[in-house]
Each structure stands twice: as C-alpha cells, then as structure tokens.
Chain A
C-alpha cells in the first residue's frame, strides 16, 4: 500500500495551526499512525489508530480520518514541534510509510 503525504515541506510560525495530509492507495480503515522525527533522533509515536493520542503527547496534536484520507493537525505550533512527520499504515504487510513532511520555521 502506497502512502502519500502532502505537503512534502511546510514553513510555519510559532502559534500557527498546521495540517498535514496522508493518503493511502487503498482503504486502510483506521490503521494509520503518525510519528515525529527530529534531526539525529529516532521517530516518536504521536497518534495511533488514526485519532488516538499516545500517552505523553501534548493535546495540541490531533489526528483524524479513515479509509484513504487522514490528517495530522497541530493546533498551535510550538518551537519544539519543528520536525519531520511520517504517517504509516498497518493495515497490511509490509507496513509502509509516507515520504515525510518537513515542518520548518518561517
């Protein structure tokens, strides 16, 4: 299953509301996960099963969608949120990731 994220990169300011989109090449129900990766660090799970917030993740992060179209929203960007974000489907093997969305400071 191919996962396509948009945009590939995004410039935004602290306090902005940001939305990243992930589209699957076929329906994946709600088997969609979002990860955050900072330079030189391992990915960190943010959202599981499309809309559930992982423990310890700030509530400004939220996820939505089902089927083929999903979104990750950051309600009010903080400086520590500037990173690369990946979606990943677990509906079928092999699990596949989107190409990533790099979120940069404007």
Chain B
C-alpha cells in the first residue's frame, strides 16, 4: 500500500530556511505527483504547490511563489519542499500527499504524517 513518511519536526528562527522531506513507498513514484499542504495551528488546510515526480514540473500557489522550491529525487523516491525567509506565521504542520501526475485535477491520497515547523525568535 502506498505510504509517505516525512522528516521530523523543525524549529527555525525568522528569516531562516527549512527543508522537509517525504519518502514514498508502495507505489511507482514516477507515475504520480506530490502536493504539499500546510495547516497552521487550529486552522484549515492550505495547498502550497505540486510537483510531478515524472518530469519535475512544478506548480506553486501564488502566495508562495519565490519563497518555495519543490524537488524530487527519483533514485530514492523522495520529495522535498524548501521554504525560505521563514516568518512566524509559517508555523504550521506541513503535509506531503500523493497527487495526480498532471498539474490540474489535484486530489490527495495518501498523506504523509506531517512535519511541524515552528518559527520563533
């Protein structure tokens, strides 16, 4: 069965960068995409962007353009999300989720377990 396992919690200072990893197993990694979705404490779900594990094409939410980079390593079936210039309001749980191989028609199953990123001075 498909499974995504994410890296552990991070504590960062404002202005720093963070990298979250997401290792896939149980399915052909390059036949799907990966989306990243975040959830601030006590809040709802916010889509950040998508990457094709087939060819590396990306589609970022406008809100994160210029501050986020999504990549994949097909040799290890791992996706990465880098977020720069962190602010306090970036404190959230970050999820990866398996998505469509195409940039549209996004839906998410399964999800990783989540990675808490805390940003505080």
Contacts and interface: CB of A to CB of B under 8 A. Distances in A.
Interface of A: 31, 33, 35, 41-45, 48, 54, 86, 88, 90, 92-100
Given A86-B44, A86-B45, A42 B112 contact: yes
B47 A94 contact: yes
Interface of B: 35, 44-47, 59, 61-62, 95, 103-114
A48 to B, nearest CB: 6
Contact of A48 (B59, B107, B110, B113): B107
Contacts of B47: 94-97
A98 B107 CA distance: 14
26 contacts: A33-B107, A33-B108, A35-B108, A41-B114, A42-B110, A42-B114, A43-B45, A44-B110, A44-B111, A45-B108, A45-B110, A48-B107, A54-B109, A86-B45, A88-B107, A88-B108, A90-B107, A93-B103, A93-B104, A93-B106, A94-B47, A94-B62, A95-B47, A97-B46, A100-B44, A100-B45
B107 A43 contact: no
Contact of B113 (A35, A42, A97): A42
B104 A92 contact: yes
A48 B95 CA distance: 19
A93 B95 contact: no
A43 B108 CA distance: 9
Given A95-B107, A97-B46, 8 more contacts: A35-B45, A41-B113, A42-B110, A45-B107, A90-B104, A92-B104, A97-B44, A97-B45
